[in-house]
Amino acid sequence: MEEYIELNLGFTKVQLLKAGDGYIQMDAGYKSNVKKYLRLLKKQNIDPKAIKLIIVNHAHFDHVGGLKALKDISNAQVLVHENDANFLRKGISAEVKPTSFISKILINLLPNSLKFFDPVEPDIVIKDEYSLQEFGINAKVIHTPGHTSGTISIITEKGNAFIGCCAHGFPLRINSGLPTIAQDIEQVLSSWERIIKEGAKKIYISHGKPVNINKMKKILKKKRSSPIDLS
C-alpha cells in the first residue's frame, strides 16, 4: 500500500509519498509557510532529512517560495522540467494567463513582489518522463504542460496521480476542474488525456479537494469536438 501524506499549508498543499526509507515531496509552498511546514512535518514524526527528493510541479511563487529553505534544511535533491528550470534558477514565476474573469482580477491584484522567490539550482532536469524507482517507489514523473510549459505530475503504480495545478479547486474555483490560470488550456486538456491513459485513478491537486477521475473524463469529452477513447 502506498503511503501518502498531505501537509495543508493553507492556499497550497504539499504532498509526500513514502519512498524506500525516505520520502518524495511535491512542491514546497510559500516562503512564509516554512515554519508551518516544519511543524506539520514534526507532527507526522518525519525528520526533514528523510525528504530525499522535492519535485517542482511548476515554478510559481506559491509552489517554490519555500524551496530554497527546505532544500537547505533537508539536503533533498530538486527535480524540475527543463521548461521551468530557468525560472527556478532566476527566482521568477513562469508566465501564465487568466482563463476566466475572476482569475484575471486575481492576477491584477497580485503585487509584483509575490512573483519572485529565492532562486534554486535544480539537481535533476527532465525532458519528458523520469522513473522514481531509484528513490524507492514504483512511480514516475511525466510532463503535463498547460498551466506552465514545464508543469509535471507524479503517477504511481497504484494509479495515484499528483498533478499540482494541472487542475484547480477551491478557492480558485468552486468545484474542482480545469485550472483558472494557465499558459495554454488546450495543452492542459492534452495533459489530462495523458494522465488518464497513464492509468490514473485518484487525482490529487495543490489547491482544493481531489479531482474525480470520471469528472475529468466528462470535462474532456465536453471540451473536445470529436469523441476520444478514454477507456
CATH code for position 149: 3.60.15.10
- The verdict on residue 217 lying in a domain is yes
CA distance 22 to 49: 8
In the block, residue with C-alpha cell 497504484: 158
- The verdict on residue 229 lying in a domain is no
What pLDDT score does 228 carry? 46
CA distance 209 to 170: 7
What pLDDT score does 98 carry? 74
What pLDDT score does 37 carry? 98
Task: Determine contact, residues 36/149, Cβ cutoff 8 Å.
Answer: no
pTM of the model: 0.93
> Which element (helix H / strand E) includes 77?
strand 77-81
> Which element (helix H / strand E) includes 42?
helix 34-43
Count of domains for the chain: 1
Q: Please, is 4 exposed, middle or buried when counting C-beta atoms within 10 Å of its C-beta (0-12, 13-18, 19+)?
A: middle
- The verdict on residue 230 lying in a domain is no
The amino acid that residue 71 corresponds to is: K
CA distance 113 to 80: 23
pLDDT bucket at 24, cuts 50 / 70 / 90: very high
What pLDDT score does 115 carry? 85
Q: Considering Cα of 55, then 56, then 61, then 62, what sign does the dihedral take?
A: negative
Task: List the domain range (segments joined by +) for residue 62.
Answer: 4-223
- The verdict on residue 193 lying in a domain is yes
Reading the block at residue 19, the C-alpha cell is 519512498
Asked if pLDDT for residue 15 goes beyond 50, the answer is: yes
pLDDT tens digits along 62-114: 999 999 999 999 999 999 999 999 999 999 999 887 776 766 777 776 667 67
- The verdict on residue 120 lying in a domain is yes
What pLDDT score does 10 carry? 93
CA 140 from centroid of its chain's CA atoms: 14
Task: Determine contact, residues 126/79, Cβ cutoff 8 Å.
Answer: yes
Q: Could you tell me what percentage of the chain is helix, strand and coil, using 3-state DSSP and rounding each to the nearest 5?
A: 35, 25, 40
DSSP 8-state assignment for residue 173: S
- The verdict on residue 158 lying in a domain is yes
